[in-house]
Structure 1
Amino acid sequence: MSTTAPPNRPQVSLPGQVHTAEGPLDMSGMYVMHHAFRRDLDAFCAAAERTPLEDAATWRALAGRWERFATMLHHHHAVEDASIWPALSERVRAVEGAPATLEAMHAEHATIDPVLARCAELFDAMSTAPDAATREALAEQLTATRDLLIRHLAHEETEALPLAQRHLPLSDWAASEKAAQRSYGLRDTGFLVPWAAEGLSQEALDRAFATVGPTFRLAYRLTRGRFARREAAAFRYV
């Protein structure tokens, strides 16, 4: 008895995205997160260069905002490592090049956490005892971090996500998305929703909300104002 393959789903294509993996899995949430990471790193790089040394309040706001960014990125990678790559690995052992790609995802994640921590140290230094040398070191570290993450996201979008589209069942993908949603606490969700939505077109926003249900749309309405005020405080010179 033959079975009909599930149809391809429309996928979002966002600024900075280097490849769109076509297939039956709705990867809107994945691409929205990638867009937010790229957007934030551009903003942090600009803020490090433009924020006046003497503006202690803004440096403190930037340090706090970096902590939230790093938390979102670490959490995103943890979900992939626990829920997506292991399930996919079981199904692509015999696919040429696939095991190496998934091993690289884990290895690249491990290289990112230390550079996030180093940026946090420099932001903390700027918020307590700012000086030109620390600002220069921070700007250089942020640029290196952005370049590292952009390479990783490009690798994931061009190789790992297409593997998932070809080999991961809809049920496994749905389970990974539910696991991700359950793993966010209330405080994290209050930041995650407006943060991920920032800068999206209405079409992309509607598609993203369609994949996560009405609770997230309500959370967006309740939290976007506070989020916008805090963004303005942290990135006031960008």
Structure 2
Amino acid sequence: MSPSFSALPSGHQTMLLAHRAMVTDLARITKAASRLAETPDPARAAALSSYIDRVHALIVHHHEGEDEFLWPRLRSLGGDENAIALLTAEHHELDKFLVEWNRLAGQLRTDNSVAAELARVTMDLDERLVAHAGDEEAELTDRLAPVLDKAVWKDFEKHMRTTAPLWTLRFMPAWLLMVAAPDELGGIPALPIARLFHGWLARVQSAALD
């Protein structure tokens, strides 16, 4: 049986919330792009394009942190090679869709005709990311669990903090708070900052997604 959320190391909790935030946003972005395809709105298109740029950067940073730090660390500790190879391969496949997704989002600023294609690509990316997140979460509590301990998670948290773009320091905590249940706040880094910028992020999301 998998451990409860609150029993997991804080870095593991943060990862689960990040996965949830990603797929929650992708579903909302799909709907927003579909609405733009039906009813063009230059201001909404610009806001959505900017928001996608941020979410894209967060997903890429998340995957880079795993590929460049977490998987090599687990491999050095004797982690299951098949599990690591599976998750690495899924990242490579997702990268192709992330590049196309971000390209279309950039075009949306000046060409609303790409909105329908953006909605389709976002839906496809959402399905693939849901599947990948499921695989990753299962492997972390199964084949990779023997080499995952609090020290690894703490080092991973530090790596993610030190490599994150500065703008994420106010965006990321609030982004996680948006999807966290009341008993999941332990997974939110810098919780006071998350609460401080919660309203700001809600306004940014409303301009882009609602």
Which residue of structure 1 lines up, in the alignment, with residue 29 of structure 2? 44
Question: What is the CA-CA distance between 1:161 and the residue it aligns to?
Answer: 4.1
Aligned match for 1:54, one of 13, 21, 40: 40
**Residues of 1 paired with 2:14 and 2:196: CA distance?**
20
1:126 to 96, 100, 108: 108
1:11 to 5, 17, 28: 5
Match of 2:162 among 161, 182, 191: 182
Task: Determine whether 1:81 maps to 2:60.
Answer: no
Matched residue SS, 1:162:
coil
Structure 2 residue runs of 5 or longer lacking an equivalent are none
Equivalent in 73, 77, 84 of residue 102 of structure 1: 84
Q: CA deviation at 1:90?
A: 2.2
Q: Is 2:145 the partner of 1:165?
A: yes
Match of 1:208 among 187, 196, 203: 187
State the structure with more CA Rg.
Answer: 1
Q: In structure 2, what is the Cα distance between the partners aligned to 1:218 and 1:185?
A: 19
Aligned match of 1:224: 198
Report what 1:195 is aligned to: 175
Query: Does the CA-based 8 Å contact 1:24-1:165 persist in structure 2?
Result: no
1:30 aligns with 2:15: yes
Percent identity reads 24
Does the CA-based 8 Å contact 2:48-2:208 persist in structure 1?
Answer: yes
Q: CA deviation at 1:121?
A: 2.1
Code of the aligned partner of 1:148 = R
Given the alignment of the two structures, is residue 137 of structure 1 paired with residue 123 of structure 2, yes or no? Answer: no
Kept in 2: contact 1:112–1:149 (CA 8 A): yes
Deviations 1:37-96 (A, max 9, x none): 110111111111123432111011111100100100011111111221111112336xxx
Distance (Å, rounded) in 2 between the aligned partners of 1:87 and 1:188: 24
Change (3 A) 1:24 1:60: closer
Partner of 2:54: 68
Q: Using the alignment, how far apart are the partners of 1:31 and 1:193 within structure 2? A: 13
Q: Contact between 1:83 and 1:176, CA under 8 Å: does it hold in 2?
A: yes
Q: What amino acid does structure 2 have at the position aligned with 1:112?
A: L
Distance 2:8 2:103 in 1: 42
Q: What is the aligned partner in structure 2 of residue 17 from structure 1?
A: none
- 1:132-191 superposed Cα distances (whole Å, 9 cap, x missing partner): xx2322222111111111111111112244333322232222111122122224311111
2:97–2:125 contact (8 Å) kept in structure 1? yes
**How far apart are the structure 2 equivalents of 1:197 and 1:90?**
33
Three-state SS of the structure 1 residue aligned to 2:40 is coil
Cα RMSD after superposing both structures: 2.1
TM-score, reference length from structure 2: 0.89
**Could you list the per-position Cα deviations for residues 199-218 of structure 1 after superposition, in whole angstroms to 9, with x for gaps in the alignment?**
3222212x224xx4xxx122
**1:149 matches 2:129:** yes
- Which stretch of the first structure deviates more once superposed, 157-166 or 25-34? 157-166
Q: TM-score, normalised by structure 1?
A: 0.79
